[in-house]
Structure 1
Amino acid sequence: MAYDEELADRIRLLIKPGPELSERKMFGGLAFLIGGNMAVAASGQGGLLVRVDRTESDRLLANEFVEPMVMGGREMVGWLRVTPEAADDDTVLREWVDRGVGYARTLPPKKK
Structure 2
Amino acid sequence: MAYDEVLARRIHDVLDGEPGVTSRRMFGGLGFMVEGHMAVAAGSSGSLMVRADPADCEAWVDGASVNPMEMRGRPAAGWLLVAGEAVADDERLRLWVDRGVAFVRTLPPEEH
1:108 aligned residue: 108
Aligned-residue offset at 1:46: 3.6
3-state secondary structure, aligned to 1:109: coil
Give the SS at the match of 1:95.
Answer: helix
Q: Could you tell me which amino acid in structure 1 is paired with residue 32 of structure 2?
A: F
Could you say what secondary structure the match of 2:111 adopts? Answer: coil
Would the alpha carbon gap of residues 94 and 19 (structure 1) be closer, same or farther in structure 2, given more than 3 Å must change? closer
- State the SS of the aligned residue for 2:55: helix
Map 1:43-58 to 2 at 5 A.
43-44=43-44, 46-58=46-58
Any residues of structure 2 matched to 1:88-107 within 5 Å, and which?
88-107=88-107
AA aligned opposite 2:78: G
TM-score of the superposed pair, with normalisation by structure 1: 0.92
Q: Counterpart of 1:65?
A: 65
- Structure 2: which 5+ residue stretches go unaligned? none
Q: Match of 1:85, SS?
A: helix
Query: Which portions of structure 1, spanning 4 or more consecutive aligned residues, are displaced by more than 6 angstroms?
Result: none
Tell me the C-alpha RMSD between the 2 structures.
Answer: 1.5
With 60-69 and 6-15 compared, the bigger mean Cα shift is at 60-69
Partner of 1:40: 40
Deviations 1:13-70 (A, max 9, x none): 1114355111011110000000110100001354100000011111111363101100
Q: Distance in 2 between matches of 1:56 and 1:13?
A: 25
- CA distance in structure 2 between the aligned counterparts of 1:89 and 1:32, rounded to whole angstroms: 19
Does the Cα contact within 8 Å between 1:31 and 1:40 map onto a contact in 2? yes
Return the letter of the residue paired with 1:15: L
Unmatched segments (≥5 aa) in structure 1: none
Structure 1 CA distance for aligned equivalents of residues 45 and 78 of structure 2: 18
